[in-house]
Amino acid sequence: MAHYERLSALDASFLGLEDSDSHMHVGAVSIFDAGPVLTPEGGLDIDRIRASVESKLHLVPRFRQRLAHVPYERNPIWVDDTRFRLAYHVRHTALPKPGDERVLKRLVGRTMSMPLDRKRPLWEMWFVEGLDGGQRFAIISKTHHCMVDGIAGADLMSLILEPLPNTEISEPQPWRAFPMPSRARLLVDEAARRLSQPVEALSSVVGAVRKPYDALAAVGEGLRAVGNTFAPALNPASATPLNEAIGPHRRFDWLAMPVTDLKAIKNAFAGTLNDVVLAVVAGALRRFFIRRQLDPDELRIRSLVPVNVRHQDERGQMGNRVAEMIADLPVHIDDPVQRLKLVTEHMADLKKRKRALGAEIMTQLAEWTVPNLLVQAVRLAGRTRPYNVIVTNVPGPQIPLYFLGCPMRTAYPVVPLFHNLCLVVGLFSYNGGLFWGLNADWEQMPDLHDIVTALEESFAELQQRADEVEQHERPRPAQKPPKHALPRKQARTSAAVLAPKGAARR
């Protein structure tokens, strides 16, 4: 019996956007303590690691599927890979001694510079030994964006890893690949899908007739949202070094912060945790532009902010369920608190105007037409420069996770670059930490670490101001009066009586 699944328009658009320079895979680099997975010789036990991954594959069936296409229309579908080999996807490598994080970052950049093979399932896991002389190891994961978005990737990590330091490996469940569906079946199914679309449209019209006022309100809200979504393209952001033609090679860098420190800033000045993140990025970009000899006071800088539109009952499902908002980054403001205030007000206004709704409507329209609609829209956006950078913040599990008993210490996200976009900032919160992953073009961003330093300085600046607010508002402890002291009013009277005549008052 044949089986297949059609890609959504949004998922398929990431295939259309990929070329020799833009690799549309998302990923992460996670660092673990190595003890339980080491061999007596000190290396990683890759056979045991592969057995553990294989025992979990039934939780993510997409990892055994590859791409195929409907004849003529060439719409992509998922089919089982009859030649699936786990060893191809779970790879083993090592860092040269002494195995510091600087060398690991370079390996991440090289790994992310290589596209995934579309003839096979679109994922890889690189297990990297030799970090800190063997005390830690890393997992570099790559998954094509047509398979997962950030939220799905976080859920996927929760499925593969475990909340307890379990070192046992369960038996893998039996699996047999479904055969590839015939051309005739694919053509008949696609024709039936096309014919069903007018029926769905008619049912929507009938519903609108029954509730005309609700329908008119929804249409008006949708049109306003779409108009607001396209508004930034009519007023381009400033040309900056972040918006040059990219090549195939990548640089990667990272930093980590305690979530409690960002929450302290949020509590001191109001807003959300994501508002604090965007304000920190704005402060860092201000420093970066000054170092590149640009005047930030003359720049209009915007960030694309992906928004999760996945419903609660969709958690754990593969595929993409995201929309976008385009937010102003006030790099022209020198005062960090004022920058945060402007970001908070602006993000509240964007949510009120429902910018993310407009992007979601465009995605739904693509489902009714062809996935190429979204591809052309994104490429048009690259030429009109509606934004300068992407900042995406994905919430992760706030408990420690383990792989074969090895605790995961850090998890830095890797977000792909698009045309004329040289820098993407990804954030992932895990177990009390906020982990920043900066993916950049190798040629255009040789000073990527300067942005890491600028992020640290921008954050420290806000943190200092938040500490000042906390110290100012902290109630002073009441001081006990000395024993046998007079009441305050009586003490003042007695002092006036006992003071020498003509003495100066203090």
Collapse the DSSP code of 181 into the 3-class scheme (helix H, G, I; strand E, B; otherwise coil) and give the result: coil
Q: How far apart are CA 394 and CA 320, in angstroms?
A: 13
- Rounded to a whole number of angstroms, the distance between the first and last alpha carbons of the chain is 98
Q: How far apart are CA 7 and CA 342, in angstroms?
A: 39
Q: H or E segment at 440?
A: strand 433-441
For 325, phi then psi, to 5°, come to: -125, 150
Q: How far apart are CA 31 and CA 147, in angstroms?
A: 23
CB 462 within 8 A of CB 336: yes
Q: How does strand 76-80 pair with strand 90-94?
A: unpaired
AA identity, residue 292: R
Token representation of residue 212: 């005309």
DSSP class of 64: G
Number of residues assigned to the chain: 506
Q: Dihedral sign for Cα 236, 241, 247, 248, please.
A: negative
- Beta-bridge partners for 308: 322
CB 18 within 8 A of CB 82: no
Q: Which of 25, 145, 332, 449 is catalytic?
A: 145
Query: Is there a catalytic annotation at residue 145?
Result: yes
Query: What would the DSSP string read from start to end of 91-105?
Result: EEEEPPTT--HHHHH
| Nearest one of 276, 271, 307 to 392, comparing CA atoms | 307
Distances (CA, A) of 343 to 330, 348, 386: 7, 8, 17
Catalytic annotation, residues: 145
